Amino acid sequence: MSLTIEQISRGDVVILALGGRLSFRESDDVFDRVRALGVAGHSKVVLDLRNVSYVDSTGLGAIVGGYTSLTKQGGTLKLVNPNPRTVELLLMTQLNTLFEVFDDVRDAVNSFSGNARSSSSTSSG
């Protein structure tokens, strides 16, 4: 199954709803899309991982690369609803300290205005 990326705007927040597998073959698509959003002036980005069935280390690297690119441009990238294996990867690599992770897209969007709290699913204790 290839990766799908659906772009949705909610006010000044851009949501990228991903579906399928985020692995070596698809990782550039995610990185390029997040980077392009930053270049276009979109500083608030949410990656909705609800329909992502698998993330490998290259896919995780693409998410980190997108985060870094967006942050350098003054933006913020937040994650929504990663599957248990992805949460485990975030914990093992200690990237859970880098990303705000939410259970719901609405909470992630609202967090840009300070009206939501992140999920405790990626906390280390």
Domain of residue 62, CATH code: 3.30.750.24
Q: Is 82 domain-assigned?
A: yes
Two tokens, residue 55: 């993330």
Residue spans of beta strands (DSSP E) within 13-104:
13-22, 44-55, 76-80, 101-102
Range(s) of the domain holding residue 107: 4-111
pLDDT of residue 114: 72
What mean pLDDT do residues 47-56 have? 96
Cα separation, 23 vs 84, whole angstroms = 16
Q: Is 117 domain-assigned?
A: no
For the chain, what is the domain count?
1
User: Do 46 and 80 contact (CB within 8 A), yes or no?
Assistant: yes
Q: State yes or no: pLDDT of 75 exceeds 60.
A: yes
Cα separation, 47 vs 19, whole angstroms = 11
- Of the candidates 64, 108, 53, the residue with the CA atom closest to the CA atom of residue 90: 64
Q: Is 124 domain-assigned?
A: no
Q: Is 118 domain-assigned?
A: no
Residues 76-99 have pLDDT tens digits of 999 999 999 999 999 999 999 999
Q: Is 121 domain-assigned?
A: no
